Structure 1
Amino acid sequence: MVTATQTESDASLSHHGIKGMRWGVRRYQNKDGSLTPRGKKRYDRDIRDNLAKKKDNRIDTSHPDPNRWAREDLERSKKIVDTSSAMVRQLKSMESETRPKPKRKSMDLSNMSDKEMRDRINRELLEQQYQKLFSEVEEPKISKGRECVTNVLSVAGDVLVVTGSALGIALSIKELRGK
């Protein structure tokens, strides 16, 4: 960086280089001529900028095509909706995987005789049959947060499915009209 300053008493020209640089040392190249990581990044950026300036690589905007822009907007919207619905499906599967599962109690069988075990098993089977026949189904206790997440995911999933299918239909209609 070169700065020129002039005051009443003296005129001076000062140069401030890059701190730590030495004479003959390049910033973006190693001694063998290969590029450093920063050099690769810099030259990649320069190549992209130069390619964008070339006439052959530019997008022709002299004759704008509103149909293309509308189609690209629809495609982008469809892509967003599809990724959102995929995320909702993934969240639903995660929620179902993390749902607490009932655990069975194990009995200490080492201190029981065969007759006691049979009696205990028969008793448990009778209780299960009674529960199936005469009891009301009790919903497992779910925390309020889990319940809220389940509701949001079900609503969001339904909305995203409908939106995604509508966008898919709109895109296919555009394709058929365009050809």
Structure 2
Amino acid sequence: MNSNELMHHGVLGMHWGVRRYQNKDGSLTAAGRKRADKLDSEYQRLTGKKLAKKKSSADVKKTESKPKSKSIGEMTNEEIQEKINRITLEQNLKSLTPKEISAGERFTKKVMNDVITPAATDVGKQLARSMFADGVNKVFNLEGDNKVYANNKKK
């Protein structure tokens, strides 16, 4: 066998990760339902037993749907008070529970406080001194020995 050969054992025209009989949400396409029915009938013909159908996700969603929430105008005073109490309790719990900080966030904050902020402050100060010195020299037309330098050094 030549080591420079590339073998393909898939279906021509198919793309990686694309399924022929199933949608991304897991439900079957029309071709998938047709194929499943064909497999069920073949199984029944061979064994004489009928396969038990699983509930699809669509069937489960229909049976487990939440009741429609009422608008404030449709609620009784007791229902409104219960909702307010619930929201208040959730806010209190959130304020009492310490926030978990990841290791990455701790590292980022430490680097920001210890390295980046002081460096940015120093650069900002140097830039402000330089711009101030240039402005003074320009306004007062200072040159030579009278010129103001940002770092108290003559260039």
The TM-score with structure 2 as length reference comes to 0.30
Q: Per residue, is there more strand in 1 or in 2?
A: 1
Q: Per residue, is there more helix in 1 or in 2?
A: 1
The TM-score with structure 1 as length reference comes to 0.27
